[in-house]
Structure 1
Amino acid sequence: MTQVATNEPQTGSPANPMSPGAMLLLAATFLGNARTAQLLSIEERSLRAKLAGDRGVTAADLRCIVSDLERRARAIDGHVAAIKAILTPEASCPTA
């Protein structure tokens, strides 16, 4: 999982092409394993096997999760907009 996160720049698009397995892993991080397994019509145990690389990840697998990922992205975009709407220009993050 850490490997996937390091490949993802702040823009949200991968810096390097990701394998289908890495794409599914990141999607499962965003959607949760239970929902991802449900979308793929498989048990969570089978999903864990796909995520571990024991079973292959197909384009059809990825196609099954795209709609929910898009819905999640829109929800996050809406939340970001709501936060930005209440922030003043001088608001900044505290330094460590």
Structure 2
Amino acid sequence: MATNQKFSNGFRVNRTMLGTGVVLAGIGTVLSLAGTAIACATLASAGRDYVNRMETPPSEQARRAMQQAKAASMAGLEAWRTEGRTASAN
């Protein structure tokens, strides 16, 4: 009964099997984390390569989109103001 521990209600635990299960779960966790790290590094590398091969960098695309949004906003505001003036003149 060296490897079994008996509790008061008769529940017996095989400590060797329990220890083996804990060790295997730990090994599985380490392998899973290693696989996740490798997959993340691969995806990050692919993303960097994709961005480096772009004709226009994302920062330039964002700057252009912001300029277009500002211009559209100003055009809409001007149209609203113009419409307000013509409506009040009638």
Same fold (TM over 0.5): no
Structure with more relative contact order (C-alpha pairs < 8 Å, separation 6 or more)? 1
What TM-score does the superposition give when structure 2 sets the normalisation length?
A: 0.30
Decide which structure has greater helix share. 2
Larger radius of gyration: 2
